[in-house]
């Protein structure tokens, strides 16, 4: 069974490139992102982990702990690090890559790809992404096929949105980026909105005449 939004992520103990990982201890009240990868020494995975390493400071700045997983053993992961850091020069992989050669974690997290298989006919993990809140609950999940690499700018964007909307009674519209206007939640009355946003807000006129689209400057985190 896969994980649903709001589920507490399973705890696990596994070996990684940075030693033994106890997942819930690793999160330890922080935001976290868990990324699965189909296999070591594959081109798209190498590009992803290198890109992630080059942007790790963006996740650090947001208080997000990063952890990757691939269905190979630790020795394979450690050898692979050289290729990742070579492909993305002047980067160092400063996050753990968990070993899951038995695919036990891939099964527990619902990350197996039903189509892609390795040379031995074993199913590969898809490119799963779980954003996990400080309460260890799944806040966002995205599944990519093995053939499609992730967009890390989008992952940073959704983390900004999750952290912002946790703190303020706003939602972020389509294509929102940090610093742009937000939308006031429809559960907030105009009277309450005036108290919460004293600098004011704009109500967008629509043909139905319903005043439900209210734009407000982004609150400061």
In this structure, are 89 and 54 located in the same domain? yes
Q: Which residues contact 118 (CB under 8 A, 6 or more apart)?
A: 39, 71, 124
In this structure, are 123 and 210 located in the same domain? no
Confidence of residue 1 (pLDDT cuts 50, 70, 90): low
Which is it for the CA torsion 43, 107, 67, 138, positive or negative? positive
**CA–CA separation, 148 and 131 (whole Å):** 19
The verdict on pTM exceeding 0.85 is: yes
Residue 159 lies in a domain: no
Residue 206 lies in a domain: yes
Q: Which residues contact 180 (CB under 8 A, 6 or more apart)?
A: 218
User: Closest Cα to residue 162, out of 152, 154, 172, 153?
Assistant: 172
Confidence of residue 122 (pLDDT cuts 50, 70, 90): low
As for how many domains the chain has, the answer is 2
Residue 205's pLDDT is 97
Task: Read off the CATH number of the domain in which 87 is found.
Answer: 3.40.30.10
Confidence of residue 38 (pLDDT cuts 50, 70, 90): confident
Q: Would you say residue 47 has pLDDT above 90?
A: yes
Task: Read off the CATH number of the domain in which 188 is found.
Answer: 3.30.1020.10
Active site residues: 45
Which is it for the CA torsion 28, 95, 64, 14, positive or negative? negative
pLDDT 10s digits, 62-100: 999 999 999 899 999 999 999 999 999 989 999 999 999
**Domain span holding position 43:** 7-150
Residue 181 lies in a domain: yes
In this structure, are 30 and 108 located in the same domain? yes
Residue 158 lies in a domain: no
Burial annotation 54-79 (CB, 10 A radius, 16+ → b, else e): bbbebbeebebbbbbbbbbebebbee
Residue 2's pLDDT is 74
Structure token pair of residue 128? 């799963």
pLDDT 10s digits, 123-138: 667 789 999 999 999 9
**CA–CA separation, 199 and 192 (whole Å):** 13
């Amino acid at each position: 069974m896969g994980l649903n939004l709001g589920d507490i992520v399973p705890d696990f103990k596994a070996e990684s490139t940075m030693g033994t990982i106890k997942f819930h201890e690793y999160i330890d009240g922080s935001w976290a992102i868990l990324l699965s990868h189909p296999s070591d020494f594959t081109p798209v995975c190498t590009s992803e982990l290198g890109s992630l390493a080059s942007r790790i400071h963006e996740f650090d700045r947001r208080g997000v702990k990063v952890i990757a997983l691939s269905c190979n053993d630790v020795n394979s992961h450690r050898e692979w690090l050289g290729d990742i850091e070579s492909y993305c020069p002047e980067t160092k992989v400063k996050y753990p890559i968990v070993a899951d050669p038995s695919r036990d974690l891939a099964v527990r997290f619902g990350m197996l790809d039903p189509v892609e298989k390795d040379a031995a006919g074993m199913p590969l993990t898809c490119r799963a992404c779980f954003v996990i809140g400080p309460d260890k609950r799944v806040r966002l999940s995205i599944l990519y096929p093995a053939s499609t690499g992730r967009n890390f700018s989008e992952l940073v964007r959704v983390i900004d949105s999750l952290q912002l909307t946790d703190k303020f009674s706003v939602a972020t519209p389509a294509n929102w980026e940090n610093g742009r206007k937000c939308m006031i939640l429809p559960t907030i009355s105009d009277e309450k909105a005036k108290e919460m946003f004293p600098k004011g807000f704009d109500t967008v006129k629509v043909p139905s005449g319903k005043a439900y689209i209210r734009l407000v400057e982004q609150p400061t985190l």
